[in-house]
Amino acid sequence: MIVLYSWYLSAGGPLKEALPFYHCRIAMFGLFLLPNRHRFKQFLMIMAPIGSFMALAFPVFDPFGFPHVTNFSYVIGHLALLVNSIAYLLTYYEKGNLTAKSVFLYNLSLNSFLAVVNMLLRANYGFIMDFPVIQSRQPFLNIFLVTVGLSSLMLLVDNLCLRLNGDSLGIFQNKL
């Protein structure tokens, strides 16, 4: 992250690409900057394996020719985030720290914030403005799809963490 943001600063990287407003970049900063048992950090670390896996399975590199520092940073950063988020969840996961409602509300807030940033910068952070899976350019639909899809996957990861800790009911026991 230090190399990537040093390069962006020195090269005058475009704001459409250079800000830490992708889900995985936010999770990377949360991993290093938030205290270990903070509930938003747990939220980010439940989101991180999903985002890392998706980013590695369906890479969307910055628009620079290969080889480029951003290409290496993309792959290494997502691999490191995947490993570190799993290590965090195995070490610091706290049952009951998040509810289904809080996961949904955190996602909705984050994606709404990204939509505002995208509108101001004419960017596509978090794929809110141009959702590649269904080729949608409808911000409100995309916020809904990303929020519901990511929240659902996060609840599955959270349930897996609970099962690893010996609790098979977990977050699904909580009411929305």
Q: What letter would DSSP give residue 65? A: P
171 has a pLDDT exceeding 50: no
What is the amino acid identity at position 87? A
- List the domain range (segments joined by +) for residue 115: 2-173
Please give the tally of structural domains in the chain.
1
For residue 176, name the pLDDT band (cuts at 50, 70, 90): very low
Contact 81, 12 (CB under 8 A): no
164 has a pLDDT exceeding 50: yes
Q: What letter would DSSP give residue 130? A: S
What number is the average pLDDT over the span 99-126? Answer: 94
pTM for this predicted structure:
0.85
Exposure of 74 in the CB half-sphere (CA atoms within 13 A):
20
Tokens of 125: 């952070």
Query: Which residue in 18, 22, 14, 54 sits closest to 127, CA to CA?
Result: 22
Using one digit for the tens of pLDDT, what is the confidence trace for 6-42? 877 887 777 777 788 999 999 999 999 999 989 999 9
